[in-house]
Structures are given as C-alpha cells and as structure tokens.
Amino acid sequence: MLNGIKNVIRQQLHNRCYARYTRELTQQKNAYGQWILENERWKKHLGRSHDRSGKSEVLVKNMAELVPGFTVPEDNTVVLFVRNGGTMDALAPRAVESYFEECPYVQIAYADEDCVDEQGMRHTPWFKPQYSPDTLRSFAYYGNILAIRGSLMRALLRTWEEDTEKISTYAQEGKLPADVTCLSYSTGEQNLYFLLLLAMQLLGYIPANEPQKAVGVIDRVLYHRNVEQNLILADEYAAFSDSIYEDGAYPDLVWEDLEHTQESDTTKTNDDRATVSIIIPSKDQPDVLKTCVESVMKKTDHNDRITLELIVVDNGSTAHNRLLIEQLIRQYKGMYLYNPMDFNFSVMCNMGAARATGNFLLFLNDDMEVLQGDWLERMLSSAKLPHVGAVGAKLLYPDSDLIQHVGVTNLKVGPAHKLLKLHDKNVYYHGQNRHNYDMIGVTAACLLTETKKFLQIDGFSEKLAVAYNDVELCFALYDAGYYNVLRNDVILYHHESLSRGDDLMSQEKKERLLRERSKLYEMHPGMAGFDPFYSNNLAGSKHMYLCSYLYPYEQEDYYVEARPFGRPEPVEWENNCLNVQVEIAKLQEKMYQGEVPKAYHIEGWSYVLDMDNSNYTRTLLLVNDADGECYSAPVVNRYRKDVVRVLTGQQNTELAGFVCRIRRDNLPSGTYTIAMLVKDGTSKQYLYKKTDVKLEAEEI
C-alpha cells in the first residue's frame, strides 16, 4: 500500500518535471516562435486603434493581375500587391496604410514575410534590408508583398501603355534583347518586376544614407508563404535591367501627377574604357606575391576597354626579398614603392593611391589568387555606376568551397563576416552567397572603387593601422551617399590560413583589435550597431542569418551569482553515472559595445546515464583548489542537437547543454575545479561529479 502511494507521488512529480522539460524544449527548438510572441504585440494595438469607419485607401491586388489593361482608381492612395502561393496577414492592409501615412515621402514599400506549414506553424522568416538598388538588379528581393503609392503606379501604367510599342521597336532595332518584348505580355509577377526597375530609374539617385528614402521596408511580417517559392530573378532580364540604367536607353517616363520627386543622377560617360591601378601592400613574401601578381596579369581578360597599372607598396622587405620583388614587378612593367616603416595598411594603400594614374583603384592583398578571366570586368560594371562606392568579391579559402568573405555586416558586436567557413555549394538566406548584394562594407583584401570617390572621402584613415580600415572606408562612402556592393559572381581564392583567428591571436593583438574597433565607432558614432542592409529583426551576434530572439544565455546582461555553497564539497554524492563535459571555461572577452562587465563563461553538457534526464535540475559547483571552499551557481539549460546525436539510447538529453556566466567581480580570485551537482526531482537523490577542468579567476 505504502509503495503504491510512493509510486503515485513519484509519477506525479515526474509528470511535473517532464511538463517543465517539454515546455522549455519547445521554446528552445523554436526561436522564431518566441520572436513572434515578443515582436507581434503591434497587432493588438493596430487592431484597436485603427479607424475602421472610413473606406480603406489601400487597394489589394494579386501580382498575377498585373497585365495590360490593369488600372488603379484615382481614390486609392496605395496599391498592395501580393503573390500567389501564400497568405497575406489579415492586418497587412492596415499596417501598409499606417506606414504610408506616417512616411509621406515613401513611394514604394515592401514587408517581411515567413513560411507556414500545413499545421499552421510559422517558420523560416525572411527579414529584408532597407532599399538596395544593386540587390534589386540581381533579383526581386522585395519578395511576395510590395506596395506602391497610387500616384506613382498610375504614372507607371500610363508609361507602360504608351511605350509598349516603342519597347518593341527598340528590340527590333537590336537595342534590347528580342525576348524583352514579352515582358509586357508576360506573367504579372514579371511585369511588376519590370515596372519596379523602371520606377527605380524614374525615382533617380537615392543616397544610401538618406533617412527619408522614397523606398522603404516595413519591418513587420505581413505575408506567409505556403511553400518555398521561386523569386523573380534578374538573370534572364539582365541585359534589359542594365539597359534602363543607361542614359537615354528608355523613353522618358511620365511624372506629372507625382507629389514627391527627386533629382535623377543618370550621368554616364560614353567612354567605357577604364584604367585600373592595382595596389598591393606586401612585405617579405615574394613567392606569395608572385602567385597573386601572375594570376592577375595572366588570367584577367585583356581587351581595349581595360588597362592595368600594377603598384606594389613594400614597407621594408629584406634586401634579398626586395630584389626578388623588384624583378617580379619589372617583368610586368609595374611600379615598386619601397619605404621601410612600421606596418600601417592604410598608409601603404594611400601611398599607392597617391602615385596611381588610373581612374579606378583596386586594393588587393598579396595572398589573393584570381580564378576567372572576367572578374575585373564584372566588378567594374558595378564600380562605374554613379551611386556605387566600393565593390567587393566573394573570397574562398584555397582549393575549397569554404567561404572566407561574402561582405561585411555591422553587427551589434561589431563588423563581422557572415557565413564564415561555411560551404559555398549551399545557398544561404535568399542567396547571400549567390546574388549580388548591397552591403555596408566589403573587405579591402579585394576592393575596387572609383578614384574620384576615393579622393572625395580622403582615402583610408591612417588612424587605423591594422584592423577595420576597410570598414571605415566603406562607412565613409556610405556617409557620402554611396552604396557598397558585393559581387558574388566574382570569386577569388584568399590564401589566408584556415587556422588563423581569435584562438591564435595574442592578448596584445586582441587588445589592439578592441582599441581599433572603439576608434572606428568614435569616428562614426551613428554606425554603432547599425546596418541598413541587415534587418534589425536578425540576430546581432551570429554568423548565420537567424531571427533576433535571444535566449537568456545569449543576452549580454545575463549573469548569475556565485554564492558560498555553505558546506564542504559533497564528495559523498559522487557518482560515475553523472557525466559532465566542460567545453568552455574562461574569462569572456567583451563582445558588445558600451559598458558591459566582464564575466567568466562556463559552458558544456551533462547527463545521467540510463536515467530520464527530464527529472534532474543542475547546479554548477566551483571548488577552490587552495582551501577547498565551494561556490555554487545556477546554470541555464541549452538545446544541443549535436549531443543528442552522440547520446543514442539515452532518455531526454535534448537539453543536456548548460551555460553559466558569472561576473568577474562576483568570484574571489583563485584556481577553481569545475564540478556539477544534480538533484532528482522525483526523489531526494543527489549526484555529484568533479571534472578535470580548471577556471582561473583573476584578481580584480
């Protein structure tokens, strides 16, 4: 009888533990679901506050309906296009109407979207950047929902109708590809993309740093895709999209009834020729430099439109290496600037630029290797555009498809390379490694810019000798109104070691990196944590494109208190059934901008062999090696798919991961051995396991 009662009680306790476990596991497996709960409270506010008495001024249309004969009534101020294959959010018209009312300068806007499965579960969000003209020329990045102010739409429709015959004539005369004529009688989605490209030409130059752009993004999820849909890519219409950017290539557009106009900067030289000064800083690496120079000079397609000027800037090679470099540069009739001095990348690049005669400057690391003949012509096609500042290329680690660079993103933790060391054979986040993208920055390992734009911003800042000088250059170009472009269709090898990184960086170099990062944001205070080409709804500290929801252990202000345990080390509970693996135990470097206290970061995973792990709660113990005093600290559970794959046959180990972050000033100095104490929630049993991992706590 008594045993039966105990079993009932134990089962009830287990049910309670398991319910808590499954609830937490569900949350940790679906970060986007948590993001929705935190970020879609606006729906209740909009639903209550919006005036429903009058007629909505938003005309909702399916993109497929945009065919010849499409009209927009005069009383509709906004046309909202949505695409087949998904569902518009019920509040989308109100959200769009509210946005256009609050932003009278906006002519075109698009919104975020996601997918929804058969069970109604939302997933795979697509958070979009601010206006990105070069991304648009690469593909229809506005996606499946787009709103256009009625006045602009009516003007575009009149132009479309009036000039259809002229477009056909252009094609017949060979000024446009013959298949462009079918755009006017193609699918509605293609017609919308076509009209949007025309609208970009009509709206003219929109400075990158313009706070009140004519094109805006509504950072709310207003569309839900039922399936993964193919977007309208610009590849098949590339010749057409290029042609409408050329001066006079398309008939004048009607702009009579539009209230908000901007000056159009369509200046384009008829001289397509370019002299590119290739500036390579280098020292004591003649073999590496030879690979770089020969790949440039031998593999680059040569034609009468591009002239190359080679400039190598050397800050003090040995006499032997200097001789070898001189011979190499002489072979290709280049310029060799030898000036012994401390390494300063910015100074060296500026020295080369000062002696350059080209109208374009290409800054190139000496460990780069060209792979394709048309690489420079492709980069020039972007750099020549009046609105473009710096142009970068996709860089891979040598003899692999591992990504080293696909643009610089300005995260909350500072400038970073997204998708680092991932396989380029895969396509990530709507083609971030496939299409050409506007980015806040590109690396100067391979950076092309027009000389006059480089001089306009006074070149590289010589205050930044080693790090972030290329980012500062791109920030300065952005501040001047230019867009920086990453050409994913240009690929070079970067012979930078795969092992190079923070793990091999000395403390001195880490401190210099932090100093130069601080200096970067002192020079550009408005850029701290800001990137117009990276949605605020995306995570600010991860190399993948994930939603911005942070679990407690990911938050910069997450700390736990280490308290005296109040009793000797519990060796009597030591049990080998408890397995503990500590992967990280160190003082965490300052990640975020601002005053964030340093903390000891301890992370790993643990489980109890052949037991239901949902029953256990864990406490971290730190045992002082000198006096045996123990300190306890709570841990946060972490979902670990990798651990589940290893622990086959073990029960409920999805939350085996643990994280603990203790403020440095909360733990007395000394050497501590890390241990784990777990409690069974269905009984009074405790298990204890001491590891071999040490934590060195510093003097404060």
Q: What is the 3-state secondary structure (H, E, C) of 584-599?
A: EEEEECCCCCCCCCCE
pLDDT of residue 598: 84
Taking the C-alpha atoms of residue 148 and residue 89, their distance in angstroms, rounded to an integer, is: 18
- Beta strands 360-364 and 599-608 are unpaired
DSSP code for 146: E
Q: Tell me the whole-structure pTM to 2 decimals.
A: 0.87
Strand, coil or helix: what is 236?
A: helix
Query: ∠ at Cα 333 (331, 338), nearest 5°?
Result: 90
Average pLDDT for runs of 10 along the chain of length 700: 74 94 93 92 73 67 90 88 92 95 95 91 94 93 95 89 63 50 62 89 90 94 82 51 40 31 35 90 96 96 92 97 96 96 96 97 97 96 96 95 95 92 92 95 98 98 95 98 97 77 64 90 94 93 87 85 94 96 88 69 96 96 95 96 94 96 93 97 94 92
Q: Of 475, 133, 446, 440, nearest to 276 (Cα)? A: 446
Taking the C-alpha atoms of residue 293 and residue 504, their distance in angstroms, rounded to an integer, is: 29
Taking the C-alpha atoms of residue 487 and residue 378, their distance in angstroms, rounded to an integer, is: 8
| Contacts of 483 by beta carbon, 8 Å cutoff, 6+ apart | 132, 133, 134, 208, 387, 388, 389, 438
699: phi then psi, degrees, rounded to nearest 5: -70, 140
Cβ–Cβ under 8 Å, residues 589 and 510 = yes
- Residue 96: in which H helix or E strand, if any? helix 92-102
Residue type, 606: S
Cβ–Cβ under 8 Å, residues 446 and 484 = no
- Residue 583: in which H helix or E strand, if any? strand 578-588
Cβ–Cβ under 8 Å, residues 612 and 14 = yes
- Residue 523: in which H helix or E strand, if any? helix 507-523
pLDDT of residue 596: 63
pLDDT of residue 240: 41
Residue type, 672: Y
DSSP code for 544: S
pLDDT of residue 158: 86
**Tens digit of pLDDT for each residue in 554-576?**
888 889 999 999 999 999 999 99
Name residue, tokens 């406490």. Answer: 619
CA–centroid distance for 304 within its chain = 37
Taking the C-alpha atoms of residue 677 and residue 266, their distance in angstroms, rounded to an integer, is: 69
pLDDT of residue 489: 94
Taking the C-alpha atoms of residue 362 and residue 379, their distance in angstroms, rounded to an integer, is: 10
Cβ–Cβ under 8 Å, residues 293 and 332 = yes
564 vs 19, 568, 688, CA distance in Å?
Answer: 31, 10, 17
**Tens digit of pLDDT for each residue in 399-412?**
999 999 999 999 98
387: phi then psi, degrees, rounded to nearest 5: -90, -5
Q: Which two tokens stand for residue 504?
A: 């091999």
pLDDT of residue 228: 62
**Tens digit of pLDDT for each residue in 598-641?**
899 999 999 999 999 999 999 999 999 999 999 999 999 999 99
Report helix angle 286-299 to 319-331, nearest 10.
Answer: 10
Report helix angle 345-355 to 469-479, nearest 10.
Answer: 60
Query: ∠ at Cα 128 (124, 133), nearest 5°?
Result: 140
Q: Which two tokens stand for residue 615?
A: 């029953």
Strand, coil or helix: what is 219?
A: strand
Taking the C-alpha atoms of residue 13 and residue 6, their distance in angstroms, rounded to an integer, is: 10
pLDDT of residue 530: 94
Strand order in the sheet with 578-588: 578-588, 599-608, 657-663, 636-638
Taking the C-alpha atoms of residue 175 and residue 220, their distance in angstroms, rounded to an integer, is: 41
Taking the C-alpha atoms of residue 509 and residue 389, their distance in angstroms, rounded to an integer, is: 30
Strand, coil or helix: what is 689?
A: strand
| Contacts of 167 by beta carbon, 8 Å cutoff, 6+ apart | 176, 180, 181, 183, 184
Taking the C-alpha atoms of residue 194 and residue 157, their distance in angstroms, rounded to an integer, is: 11
pLDDT of residue 251: 33
DSSP secondary structure letters along 314-359: ES---HHHHHHHHHHHHHTT-EEEE---S--HHHHHHHHHHH---S
Q: Is 208 exposed, middle or buried (0-12, 13-18, 19+ CB in 10 A)?
A: buried
pLDDT of residue 49: 59
Q: Of 480, 445, 453, nearest to 353 (Cα)? A: 453
Q: Is 6 exposed, middle or buried (0-12, 13-18, 19+ CB in 10 A)?
A: exposed
- Residue 195: in which H helix or E strand, if any? helix 188-203
Taking the C-alpha atoms of residue 684 and residue 115, their distance in angstroms, rounded to an integer, is: 46
Q: Which two tokens stand for residue 311?
A: 């400039």
Number of H helices, E strands in the chain: 16, 28
| Contacts of 490 by beta carbon, 8 Å cutoff, 6+ apart | 372, 375, 378, 379, 393, 394
Strand, coil or helix: what is 566?
A: coil
Q: Of 631, 611, 615, nearest to 564 (Cα)? A: 631
| Contacts of 547 by beta carbon, 8 Å cutoff, 6+ apart | 31, 32, 35, 125, 127, 537, 538, 539
Across 340-420, the runs of DSSP E, i.e. the strands, are 360-364, 368-370, 388-396, 403-405, 408-411, 414-417
Residue type, 556: E
